[in-house]
């Protein structure tokens, strides 16, 4: 059986359903919402949605 040329360097990780690397552009765009502008979307009061 022939080996596929893409497998010569080792295994290929295909389970991105479990975890996926986040693009640095996305991380940069999300940082303000993870550190400054956060809230609880399930809150019934205004302060939970800030």
> Is residue 17, in this structure, part of any structural domain at all?
yes
> Is residue 16, in this structure, part of any structural domain at all?
yes
Q: Which two tokens stand for residue 36?
A: 């400054």
> Is residue 1, in this structure, part of any structural domain at all?
no
Residue 41's domain comprises: 11-49
State the total domains in the chain: 1
> Is residue 2, in this structure, part of any structural domain at all?
no
> Is residue 5, in this structure, part of any structural domain at all?
no
* Whole-prediction pTM: 0.47
Give tens-digit pLDDT for 2-49. Answer: 766 666 777 777 787 877 888 999 999 999 888 887 777 788 887 776
**DSSP secondary structure of 1-37:** -PPPGGGTTS-----TTT--PPPHHHHHHHHHHHHTS
> Is residue 34, in this structure, part of any structural domain at all?
yes
> Is residue 43, in this structure, part of any structural domain at all?
yes
Cα(21)–Cα(5) distance, integer angstroms: 24
């Amino acid at each position: 059986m022939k080996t596929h040329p893409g497998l010569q360097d080792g295994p290929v990780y295909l389970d991105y359903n479990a975890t996926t690397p986040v693009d640095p552009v996305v991380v940069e765009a999300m940082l303000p919402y993870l550190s400054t502008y956060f809230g609880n979307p399930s809150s019934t009061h205004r302060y939970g949605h800030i």
